[in-house]
Amino acid sequence: MHPITTVRRFHCRAQPTIFKALPRHENLDEFYQNRAGKFWDNFYKRHKNKFFKDRHYLDKDWGRYFSDDAHSPNGKVVLEVGCGAGNTVFPLLAAYPKLYVHACDISPHAIQLVKSHVEFREERINAFVCDIAAANLHEIVHPSSVDVITMIFMLSAVSPKKMPMILQNIKRVLKPNGYVLFRDYANGDFAQVKLQDKNRMISEDFYVRGDGTALDTSYI
């Protein structure tokens, strides 16, 4: 299998103070991870497309990865993992008219929000429900067909135990010399500190919010 080239971007803040964790149960993290689809679907039913802002900064920070080149002169193919309501997808499509995007999310309601967006076009977007940690992605997206894979605040939402399967899945569909671009929380980030203050840790560096959605910082 070909190697994956990654580009990382994250923000760090001061290290958190020591705190007392939630009472632990050996299956507590599995409880939340096994119901992740339900929790995230409820999240998007409640917030719709109002929670996250459109990520117009991606063009400035990572524009060279999405621009046409000698290997893809007619537009690149992007896979957005954990697309949510399309806050990454639609700014990219607007900035790069020849771009084609596969957009997947574990939440059916999130995918419906993408498909109901005023700028949604089937000829430019393949939006589908997918648990990237369990599904065979290459049965939906052709193997070795994707130039760039983006995961924006996505890896922190899954358990470290599921990350090997996620990497195997995306590696199968990524072209040789393709790129994986991700941005996420870091260990000591403000989001982690807030959950520490609320005593929401269920295992080491793995937290759960009040709505059941998860935050993991152990992979950084």
Is 106:131 a contact under the CB 8 Å cutoff?
yes
Query: Would you state the pLDDT for residue 13?
Result: 42
Please give the single-letter amino acid code of residue 39: F
* Confidence bin at 203 (pLDDT 50/70/90): low
Q: Closest Cα to residue 38, out of 116, 129, 115?
A: 129
Both tokens assigned to 215: 């935050």
Look at residue 216 and tell me whether its pLDDT is greater than 90. no
Q: pLDDT digits over 137-160, tens only?
A: 999 999 999 999 999 888 877 877
Q: pLDDT digits over 11-49, tens only?
A: 444 333 333 344 444 466 665 566 665 676 777 777 666
> What gap in Å lies between CA 154 and CA 166, rounded to an integer?
11
Q: How far apart are the first and last CA of the chain?
A: 24
> What Rg value do the Cα atoms of the chain yield, rounded?
17
- pLDDT, mean over the chain: 76
Whether the CA torsion 212, 205, 51, 79 is positive or negative: it is negative
Structural domain spans, the chain:
5-9+23-216
What is the pTM assigned to this prediction?
0.74
For the residues 185-205, what does the mean pLDDT come to? 52
Q: pLDDT digits over 46-95, tens only?
A: 766 655 566 778 888 899 999 988 678 889 999 999 998 899 999 999 99
* Confidence bin at 162 (pLDDT 50/70/90): confident
Question: 3-state DSSP call for residue 26?
Answer: coil
Which CATH entry fits the domain spanning 5-9+23-216: 3.30.360.10, 3.40.50.150, 3.90.1310.10, 2.60.40.10?
3.40.50.150
